Structure 1
Amino acid sequence: MTSAKIRTERRGHVLLIGLHRPEKRNAADYELLTQFADAYGELERDPSLRVGLVHAVGDHFTAGLDLADLGPRIGADGLSFVGPDGVDPWQVSGPPLTKPVVVAVQGTCLTLGIELILASDVAVAARSTRFGQIEVSRGILPFGGATLRFPRAVGWGNAMRYILTGDLFDAQEAYRIGLVQEVVNDGEQFDRALAIAERIAAQAPLAVQAALANAKRAVRDGDDAAAADLQPALVRLAGSEDARIGMEAFLTRTEAEFVGR
């Protein structure tokens, strides 16, 4: 049997996804990666789940890859860890994730931890977090999306400054360059990330997913392709039950309770 290196918990419409290998600073071995992908598959498939919140048990978010375990598994086609029910959390292969993900980080956040932030939508960091995209110091390159997304997220020079040197940087620098959206006192990162996730989950889920999909299409296919989708998406959403609920809430000045239809 495999051990539970990923722990999931449902909190209303939010799926908590916790890295649970604290004795190894949550370094990712094959079991952790496959369980992580399965948790993303659960988030994607279940219509009652609207947002994912990724966090970590222990003092550290992740020390990166467990190369002792994963190195021998890198074959001629690279590294495969997504099973038939899984979704790639780093979104470099397979089907796209259609639901937003919030990330809470603390302690050490290396390599695939940064790439997970880049593949997600909102990140909150504890003040003492240390970041590093250190693959070049290990003789490999980032293969979880940093070369694709880091320059777009923080600018070419800021990204290359850390991808090409492997230097560590702190939470304030991560905030300055735009890698994370909030820095909070140590120990407060999970609660703050959960508050953001719950705020997103309280919105109309079809509208959230449509907005997220359009923004991702603009990145992937260009502004013209995303612009062409806007009016059809608006027409589709305008006919939804959630649009009716939202309008009634606006007119009556009450809080909308969306149903995802």
Structure 2
Amino acid sequence: MTDQTNLLLVDRGTDGVLTLTLNNPEKRNALATPVLGLIADALDAVRDDDAVRSVVITGSTKVFAAGADINELAQKDTAGALADVRPRIWARIRAFPKPIVAAVEGWCLGAGNELLMCCDLAVAGVSARFGQPESNLGIIPGAGGTATLPRIVGRMQAMSMVLLGKPIDAATALRLGLVLEVVVDGSALARASELAREIAARAPVAVRQAKAMVNAAFDLPHTAHLAAERQAFSALFGTEDKREGLAAFFGKRDPQWKGA
């Protein structure tokens, strides 16, 4: 039996970056409900921790996450699916206010691809593959594969991925905006960590607001979004970090962010 405590490795670095590593190679890092819960718990634990300013989520060099746990799916009927706790866990992950960078090597399928879409930036190894193959099992994606995916890659490509169930390669994922960068195999984690450190070195309050406002494009009409953006913009003018940022600029020095 797999040791539940080791399904997710949690590494608190000294550079403001928390690294979460999916660690269930026997099941190709399947996002079973306990694993999904561990991710949400790890994020909740640092939500208000000022020492953690960004997060990296990764898997192994062969697989990021190859979907949900098929055994769990097989045990559910309609009533079980409707009563599932997973939507609440996914909501906790999506609500995490700090930037998350995904490092993807190998397969990123089904729930794995939906976890990727919960992240704010993604780096992929050149051999990575992305897909929503749920229709092969007689079901559809249930955590963003039909809702979030078309908003990122467009309706036609999302239709192709969901209806045909065929994976796309890293170059296509880059072209469609599903990932930010494609790198040499084996170096996705290093590059994702570099990006996370760069984010962690920036003004924390501004970074949170920036993430929230970009994500608001998924939910708000344009006019309402512009109003919300301006409100968030104006609120930052009362922060210590705004004063420090300007002082550092005029003083030609690096800013010392306080996160307030």
Fold equivalence (TM over 0.5): yes
CA distance in 1, matches of 2:119, 2:92: 8
The superposition leaves residues 204-255 of structure 1 with CA deviations (integer Å, 9 ceiling, x where unpaired) of: 0100111111222232122222211233322321121111111111112211
SS at match of 2:241: helix
In structure 2, how many angstroms separate the alpha carbons of the residues matched to 1:78 and 1:251? Answer: 56
| Letter of the structure 1 residue corresponding to residue 84 of structure 2 | L
Contact residue 102 and residue 116 of structure 2 kept, 8 A? yes
Counterpart mapping for 1:80-229 below 5 A = 80-81=85-86, 88=91, 91=94, 96-229=95-228
The letter of the residue matching 1:100 is P
Structure 1 counterpart of 2:193, one-letter code: L
Structure 1 residue 48 corresponds to structure 2 residue 51: yes
Q: How far does the alpha carbon of each residue in 1:156-207 deviate from its partner, in whole angstroms, 9 at most, with x for none?
A: 1111111110012211111121111100001110010011111111110100
Q: Secondary structure at the match of 1:148?
A: coil
Aligned with 2:228: secondary structure? Answer: helix
Counterpart Cα distance in 1 of 2:42 and 2:21: 10
SS in 2 for 1:164: helix
Distance 1:210 1:23, change over 3 A: same
- 8 Å Cα contact 1:132/1:168 also seen in 2: yes
Q: Residues 40 and 93 of structure 2 are in contact (CA less than 8 Å); yes or no, is this contact kept in structure 1?
A: no
* SS of equivalent residue, structure 1 residue 99: coil
- The one-letter code sitting in structure 2 at the alignment partner of 1:40 is L
Paired AA for residue 58 in structure 2: H
Aligned partner of 1:6 among 5, 8, 11: 8
> How far off is 1:81 after superposition?
4.1
Q: Quick check: 1:235 aligned with 2:234?
A: yes
Deviates more, 1:102-111 or 1:220-229: 220-229
CA contact (8 A) 1:218 1:224 kept: no
TM-score (norm 2): 0.91
Return the alpha-carbon distance in structure 2 between the equivalents of residues 76 and 117 of structure 1. 22
For 1:29 and 1:186, the matched residues in 2 are separated by: 26
Shift of 1:153: 0.7
Which secondary structure does the structure 1 equivalent of 2:148 belong to? helix
Q: Which structure 1 segments of 5+ residues have no match?
A: none
Deviation for aligned residue 1:259: 1.5
Of 18, 23, 28, the match for 2:21? 18
Question: 1:128–1:170: 8 Å Cα contact kept in structure 2?
Answer: yes
Query: Percent identity among equivalent residues?
Result: 37
Count of matched residue pairs: 255
Residues 17 and 55, structure 1, Cα contact 8 Å, conserved in 2: yes
Distance (whole Å) between structure 2 residues aligned to residue 146 and residue 23 of structure 1 = 25
- Cα distance in structure 2, aligned partners of 1:250 and 1:103: 31
